[in-house]
Homo-oligomer: A and B are copies of this chain.
Amino acid sequence: MSETRSAILELGEMLIRTRGYHAFSYHDISRPLAIKNAAVHYYFPTKADLGVAIIENTIAAFRQATASWQPLPTEKQFELYTRIYQDSQSKGWVCLMGALSPAYDTLPQPMQEKLHRMGQEILSWLTACLERGKAEQVFNFPESAQAKAQVVVAALLSSLLLNKVMGEGIFQSIREAVRKGV
């Protein structure tokens, strides 16, 4: 994969996660890379193509990360999962789901489908992780693993959003509550 293509994807992800899909333009990508509008269109003919590729990238990165965690203890894997959000917070980014879901109805259909798929993958990994931890008795919660996974994703997703509006304390506070809740 070309360097330019990678750079576009990286910048595009940053822009979506700090401004949202409808508040950035190809110019916001071409300018920092010192290339022209048309060069970006060469790699991603339409904005929807770029959006889809960014979601695919995120799915691939999540798969790769979780696969690499497989040898680790369940509670460590969970810890590393929450650290993904910690890293986002420290950059002032929200997660991709948090960035795109509010305007879901306005997204091109291919992006909607990929986003749905991303949600499925994250929830099913997290459900399995919580299920395993419960069986191993390193986690302790009354709900089903599936319900717990939904609550955990929800809390972490919002913590990044609320953090932007309300200030930094709220992310750490919610993250702490999530850790104590499992």
Contact = CB atoms under 8 A, between A and B. Distances in A.
A22 B21 CA distance: 9
Interface of A: 18-20, 22-23, 92, 94, 97-99, 101-106, 112, 115-116, 119-120, 123, 142-143, 146-148, 150-151, 153-155, 157-159, 161-162, 164-166, 170, 173-174, 176-178, 180
Q: How many copies does the complex hold?
A: 2
A106 B166 CA distance: 16
Chain A interface mostly: helix
A164 B23 contact: no
Among the interface residues A19, A154, A180, which one has the most CB atoms of the partner chain B within 10 A? Answer: A154
Given A119-B166, A154-B159, A165-B116, A102 B106 contact: no
